[in-house]
Amino acid sequence: MSDTTFDYVIIGAGTAGCLLANRLSADPSKRVLLVEAGRKDDYHWIHIPVGYLYCIGNPRTDWLYKTEPDAGLNGRQLRYPRGKTLGGCSSINGMIYMRGQSRDYAQWAQITGDESWRWEQVLPLFKQHEDYHKGADEMHGAGGEWRIEKQRLRWDVLDAFAQAAVQAGIPASADFNRGNNEGVGYFEVNQKSGWRWNTAKAFLRPTCYGRPNFELWTSAQVARLIVEADTDGGKRCTGVQIWNGREMVTVTATREVILSAGSIGSTQILQLSGIGPGALLHQHGITPVHELPGVGANLQDHLQIRSVYKVQGVKTLNTMANSLWGKAMIGLEYALKRSGPMSMAPSQLGAFTKSDPSLAWPNLEYHVQPLSLDAFGEPLHNFNAFTASVCNLNPTSRGTVQIRSPRFEDAPAIAPNYLSTPEDRKVAADSLRVTRRIVSQAAMTKYQPEEWKPGVQYQSDEDLARLAGDIATTIFHPVGTTRMGRADDPMAVVDPQLRVRGIRGLRVADAGVMPTITSGNTNSPTLMIAERAAQLIRNAV
């Protein structure tokens, strides 16, 4: 770490940071430093798709956050995984490729006053890094770094659920990524030949590693940003202080610092650096450098409500994996073919539909799995079952991320405030009814589905909403804590060009900038944001 002056310093080698490092270091005249608090992605379970089971809750790969006790969840706390390794959350997530709906981006354009965030404008950014298994067309790109493939297994019970969904009025879909994702079908995944495809493989190896102007520091945690007076009396971010495990190193950025540490990490770094709500900073003895009340506000997440159904006459993973012989056969299939349960994304079948037929767009997403368990990390049940998890795509509840102390080593307080609005509680109740309606269709009859959880005794809105609080859990999509907005929006943290308000030389490029959560899994929109940020940064030179 002898030379500590760079043109660009990128904080966080996760989904966004890896792409940004690739794009910015493509100019050999610019020196780029990528800083990652976690270790290299050389842990074998990162790359085997089912390995997320061993990465989440593992300090080798996960920040091990927990939420605050949540009134909407009847006082429960949730495990809140965030990737702490090269590739970030793309190294431990569900691998599902999902852009959201065109209406999401129309809403971003309206909120920010910037038409370049519309679906028609961001679609080329998605396509730019895409390597779609069917090849290029008007909606997809081919030859890019980000591989998208079909899953390498099917399940009879999931095929039956898909048929039941069609019988319930949900159309079949072969592609959820064309602007309106209504339908039912198997998810497409970020895998390559049965291996997880994370952003470190896609954007760092081998490209960046061969560039003399690129440097990567791992096991290096940012303590704070350095903000100084600019020549005209304004404020400029000139660098960062980084703890490398032995000493604090000061790094200078001559052009820009880009925060890509995620909705939790980027928020924490800003607040530790004196950029955030004044009262919170004073509470922890931090002198405000620049007051921005929106830093850490506007937290949004998708809350999934898991219904479990016992079934008869069909195999599920519960019984396939409950013996040494079964586990051996699963391992052998993966070793020989890179297929079978070890190639599984956490959820295989997806569906998008409406909690209320009068809605113009789908507002529910299903993740359907041929397995069941009491909670993530617990053993599979000893009976055949499937799980139909449903989430409200557009929650109105808003939470916060706030530092607990001035120490960078201390995890922040994460308070999602799930189910804190009447609208969200109503959608939760209605979504459980939609699940029941799908499972009651003729296509499922042969498997004699029995609602084991939550249980048919719960019927009223009040019962179902309270029940959702008891059984619902995060689907790991925190966004919005450094959101973009118009110049007259006091809660906007960044402008539509992702520049932090009032601080030159500093941008945020991660899921935190989303003003509203996308209608689906959030990893791919985060890559698009990074692609947009790279364009903006290059054009600013």
Residues carrying an active site annotation: 477
Smallest CA-to-CA distance from 522 within 365, 351, 354 is with 365
Residue given tokens 């909403």 in the structure block: 465
- Alpha-carbon distance of 259 to 132, in angstroms, equals 29
Residue given tokens 């852009």 in the structure block: 99
CB atoms within 10 A of CB 336: 9
- Alpha-carbon distance of 409 to 64, in angstroms, equals 13
Smallest CA-to-CA distance from 97 within 158, 47, 140 is with 140
- Rg, Å, the chain Cα set: 23
CB atoms within 10 A of CB 451: 18
Q: Where are the alpha helices (DSSP H) in 129-155?
A: none
Ramachandran area for residue 134 (φ above 0: left; ψ -120 to 50: alpha; else beta): alpha
Sheet strands (E) in 266-369: 275-276, 290-291, 303-310, 349-353, 364-369
For residue 399, give the 3-state DSSP assignment: strand
H or E segment to which residue 532 belongs: helix 523-540
For residue 301, give the 3-state DSSP assignment: coil
Q: What's the full length of the chain, in residues?
A: 541
- Alpha-carbon distance of 76 to 188, in angstroms, equals 33
CB atoms within 10 A of CB 374: 13
Q: Give the single-character DSSP code of 48.
A: S
Q: Where are the alpha helices (DSSP H) in 195-277?
A: 199, 262-272
Contact between residue 454 and residue 436 where contact means Cβ atoms under 8 Å apart: no
- Alpha-carbon distance of 302 to 479, in angstroms, equals 10
Contacts of 455 (CB under 8 A, 6+ apart): none
For residue 336, give the 3-state DSSP assignment: helix
- Alpha-carbon distance of 15 to 33, in angstroms, equals 16
For residue 262, give the 3-state DSSP assignment: helix
Task: Please report how the helices 15-24 and 523-540 are oriented relative to each other, as an axis angle in degrees rounded to 10.
Answer: 30
Beta bridge partners of 353: 364
CB atoms within 10 A of CB 66: 12
Contact between residue 6 and residue 252 where contact means Cβ atoms under 8 Å apart: yes
